[in-house]
Structure 1
Amino acid sequence: LNHPLPFSAYIGKIPYKPIISNLSNDCNLCQFVGFGRITPSESSYVLRWTLYEILSPQKCKDFDARHRKNEFCAIDPEERSCNMK
C-alpha cells in the first residue's frame, strides 16, 4: 500500500505470527469480499465472499507464495466462494 489503511470496526490488525501454534480454524480464517477472479480461468461481476486460511511462513514457502515483509499470504484450500445476499 502507498498509504496506511485506516482501522475501523471492520478492519483491524491481526498478529502474523500467533503465539499459540495449534490454533483452531476460527483463529486462522479471514473473510474476504469482492469482485473479480474466482479461479485462474473464471471471473465474476457479482459481489462474492469466501474464507481464506492465513498460512504460516513455512506453508507460504511450500506453496511458493512470495510476498513482502508487510504482507501475509492466505488461500482458500477448497477454492469456494458464495454470492453475497
Structure 2
Amino acid sequence: MDAVNTLSNRELEVAWEWVDGLSADEIADKLFIAYDTVRNHKRAIMKKLNVRSALVVAKLMARHDPEKYLNGLGILITMIILLNR
C-alpha cells in the first residue's frame, strides 16, 4: 500500500507545498490556515509516512505522483533547501 494514500486531502495539500519548498509561513498563507496548523500537519504527515526527514517525504511524494512532483520541480527545490540548512 502506498503510505501517501493514508494522508488526508489537507495533509496532501500541505505535503505538496512543503515538497515544493514553501516554508510553514508560506504554506499557511497560501492555504489560508494557521502556522501552527501547518506544523501539526507536517508532524502528522511524517508520522503517517513513518519518516523523520523532509527529504524522505519528498521521495515518497515523488513515487506517489511523479508527474506532479516533476511539474513542481519539487526535487530540485527540496534538495536546495535541505542543503542550505
TM-score (structure 1 length as normaliser): 0.25
Q: Please identify the structure whose Cα radius of gyration is greater.
A: 1
Highest RCO, 1 vs 2 (Cα 8 Å, sep ≥ 6) = 2
- Whichever structure has more strand as a proportion of its residues is 1
TM-score (structure 2 length as normaliser): 0.25
